[in-house]
Amino acid sequence: MQIKRMLFGVICLSVVIAIGIKYGRSFSAHQEHKYTQAITSAHSPLIPLAIIGGGPAGYSAGLYGARQKVHTVVFEGARPGGQLMETSYVDNWPGNPHTLGKDIMDKVRAQAVLFGAVMVPLTIKSINTRTWPFELETHEGDKLYALSVVIATGATPKLLDVPGVKTYWGRGITTCAICDAPFYKDKDVIVVGGGDAAVEEALQLVGYAKSITICVRGSAVRPSAASFVERFNKEYSSIHMLYNTNIKQILGDDAHVQKVVLETNGVKDVRDIDGVFFAIGHKPNTDWIAPDMLKLHKDGFIDIDSHSQSWGSQSTSVHGVFAAGDVADNRYRQAGVASGDGIKAVLDALSFLREISFESTGKETFFVPKSRVLGELLPVTSHEVLSQKLKARDSGIVIVEFYTDACPTCVRMVKVVQQTLGEFKDQAIGLKVHAIKSADISRTYAIAKAPTVLIFKNGSEMARITDLMSQQDFNALIKGLL
């Protein structure tokens, strides 16, 4: 009996060790982590507290970290501000009723910067949790070392996997009514989804589209959206509900969406349509995390449930790495909750830094981003001026961004283009066109989404971008065309 118990104990210990190895940690190894001068000498540049992601969770974490006088770096990634930047008015942010999502995020970011948080417009490509300090690699190929990490990379809207979606993305298919509603004035559109997001998309379209059909896969919308449907019936004759309906295919003329194939209660129907807006949920942004670096749930969300009692409520499977916001939350998915999670995550991270006896010696080489020179986008309002600019740069690159006033993503893409122009200042020029006010130019170039960036070389269109692109990817695209 005693031998059996010993054998059972050995097996259990082996399982525990194997799990620890799989998720990049030894249960005893982190007890040995101590901050020493040897650590700083071998790992440079060093980041005591790295925040990966710049939405409500990331900015809130940055604010609290910097306020504790810890060198805090926020890697804002490709979508600074997160999903809130692409919403209209927010009524449930505490203390700020009926405020634009962009304004909320701008204020939180500014407050974090005020306390000393370092904002970096870089995207983290990978994290290595098998070493400590943790190794971070940017898309530019730089390697950085972090004593503690908070992952707040959020989530991105889902698209349906049906024929036509990839072909017509940005050509009649979108996920942002606040950005693209003006393109659909007096047109017929479909909104796909049955929750709050679908309702908000429809409300954004009311002032523009001739008719809006909300296609709901089930027999009813979610309870939180039910009151809005009642409001639709009373106030908005242009909004129509279609239940038990699935999109089977999206058709067009290669330039733009023209028809959609629907299936309602098993019966197929082909409808003429001008635009399709998806509002069917989000997927967590965890593709950049290797499977053996952190424990993820099967749906891709970071697991913070298994270790919350030991290391804090936002702890991941690796001690010293924490997660907050929609990247780890598949239940609440609210900006206010994400902000609170970011605060909890950074408090957990600060506790970890105390545990390893972190205290700046003044001799470390902390990471500081490189200063960047920004280029300028010249406004263009007529066909004639645009043609002249293209002809004048027959031997070079011309970057043209089409934007709208109510498009937060356009503002972020402008910054990307400006930084690229600064880097390639003698080889490219930048122009910007208001896609609605200069509708004739938009029609000529089949612009149906904001932002849209066209890249010309020798007068010919070489590339078309219909979504936000990371700084690194955009630079690489331009470099490849030179």
pLDDT tens per residue across span 374-403? 899 999 999 888 988 888 766 689 999 999
Q: Does domain 377-481 have CATH number 1.50.10.10?
A: no
DSSP 64-100: HHHHTT--EEEE--SSTTGGGGG--EES-STT-TTEE
Residues above pLDDT 90, as percent of the chain: 56
Q: Which of 12, 180, 196, 253 is catalytic?
A: 180
Q: Which of 12, 91, 176, 196 is catalytic?
A: 176
Look at residue 30 in the predicted model and tell me its pLDDT.
Answer: 44
Averaged pLDDT for residues 3-10: 49
Q: Does domain 165-280 have CATH number 3.20.20.70?
A: no
d(CA 119, CA 380): 31
First vs last Cα of the chain: how many Å apart? 76
List the structure tokens of 248.
């089977």
Look at residue 234 in the predicted model and tell me its pLDDT.
Answer: 82
Sorting pLDDT into bands at 50, 70 and 90, what band is 111? very high
Cβ atoms of 239 and 231 closer than 8 Å: no
d(CA 452, CA 454): 7
**Which sequence spans correspond to the domains of the chain?**
33-156+283-355, 165-280, 377-481
Sorting pLDDT into bands at 50, 70 and 90, what band is 12? very low
Do the domains at 33-156+283-355 and 165-280 have one common CATH topology? yes
* CATH class for the region spanning 33-156+283-355: alpha beta
| pTM for this entry | 0.80
List the structure tokens of 259.
């028809």
Lowest mean pLDDT across 100-104, 125-129, 324-328: 100-104
DSSP 3-70: HHHHHHHHHHHHHHHHHHHHTT--TTGGGG----HHHHHHS-SEEEEEEE--SHHHHHHHHHHHHTT-
d(CA 275, CA 256): 9
176 is catalytic: yes
Query: pLDDT digit string (tens) for 13-23?
Result: 444 444 444 44
Query: Among the residues of 86-222, which ranges form H helices?
Result: 101-114, 165-168, 177-180, 196-205
Cβ atoms of 78 and 57 closer than 8 Å: no
180 is catalytic: yes
Residue 439 predicted with pLDDT over 80: yes
d(CA 482, CA 187): 40
Query: pLDDT digit string (tens) for 62-110?
Result: 999 999 999 999 999 878 888 877 776 777 888 888 888 888 999 999 9
Q: Which of 12, 91, 106, 179 is catalytic?
A: 179
Query: pLDDT digit string (tens) for 423-438?
Result: 998 899 999 999 999 9
Look at residue 331 in the predicted model and tell me its pLDDT.
Answer: 80
d(CA 83, CA 30): 35
Q: How many CB atoms lie within 10 A of CB 5?
A: 9
215 is catalytic: no
Look at residue 3 in the predicted model and tell me its pLDDT.
Answer: 52
Averaged pLDDT for residues 300-327: 86
Cβ neighbours for 52, distance < 8 A, ≥ 6 positions apart: 58, 75, 77, 124, 127, 136, 149, 150, 151, 152, 153
Beta-strand pair 460-465/452-457: antiparallel
